């Protein structure tokens, strides 16, 4: 029987113009924790896009590379980049076997991208992926609706709740933030 690598809770929250993405660090194979401090978030396109992954790490790195190329090709246009990545992911013979999900966000948009060609834009400024994603999403949604906490505080509390409930999620959480007034990083040499 093939053991599945289970890993990850990735959550993104948007409130009052701030976008915060959070991911835990746990990677589990069967009943064993293989790693507790994996980094599952990346800043892309001059630090203006945050991407998180759930699933196979090697597959996710391949997708990050492809996604970053799409962002460069479409000058940071996130909606266009995710649609083009999803098309490639679904139709390319190599890509379609990759087992991962991407959660991506910039100051304006949030998307979940899957290998089935799905591009999902959440309605409420909150989205999640991974084994503990439903726990974090439920907690974040409740906090958005019933508190005045900021995006970072909501992400922190929701991830702590998920870590207490989901055995595939730990409390070694990394956060990345984007603000609409945040200056872009200097362009990377050789970038268009």
Please list the active-site residues: 8
Pairwise CA distance, residues 91 & 87, whole Å: 6
Matching residue, tokens 């980049």 = 81
DSSP class of 136? H
> Are the C-beta atoms of residues 52 and 39 closer than 8 Å to each other?
no
Pairwise CA distance, residues 26 & 2, whole Å: 20
Start-to-end Cα distance in the chain: 48
Q: Which ranges constitute the DSSP H helices of 26-123? A: 57-73, 78-91
- Kindly tell me the number of DSSP H helices and DSSP E strands found in the chain: 4, 12
Helices 57-73 and 78-91, axial angle in degrees (round to 10): 130
Pairwise CA distance, residues 119 & 18, whole Å: 22
């Amino acid at each position: 029987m093939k053991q599945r690598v289970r890993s990850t809770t990735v959550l993104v929250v948007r409130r009052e113009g701030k976008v915060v993405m959070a991911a835990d660090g746990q990677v589990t194979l069967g009943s064993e924790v293989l790693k507790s401090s994996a980094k599952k978030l990346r800043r892309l396109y001059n630090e203006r896009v945050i991407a998180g992954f759930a699933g196979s790490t090697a597959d996710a790195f391949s997708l990050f590379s492809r996604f970053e190329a799409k962002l460069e090709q479409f000058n940071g246009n996130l909606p266009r980049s995710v649609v083009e990545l999803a098309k490639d992911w679904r139709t390319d013979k190599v890509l379609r076997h990759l087992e991962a999900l991407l959660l991506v966000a910039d100051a304006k948009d949030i998307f979940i991208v899957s290998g089935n060609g799905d591009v999902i834009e959440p309605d409420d400024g909150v989205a999640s992926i991974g084994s503990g994603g439903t726990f974090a999403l439920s907690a974040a949604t409740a906090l958005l609706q019933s508190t005045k906490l900021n995006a970072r505080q909501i992400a922190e509390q929701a991830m702590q709740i998920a870590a207490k409930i989901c055995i595939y999620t730990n409390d070694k959480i990394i956060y990345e933030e984007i603000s609409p007034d945040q200056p872009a990083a200097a362009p990377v040499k050789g970038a268009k």
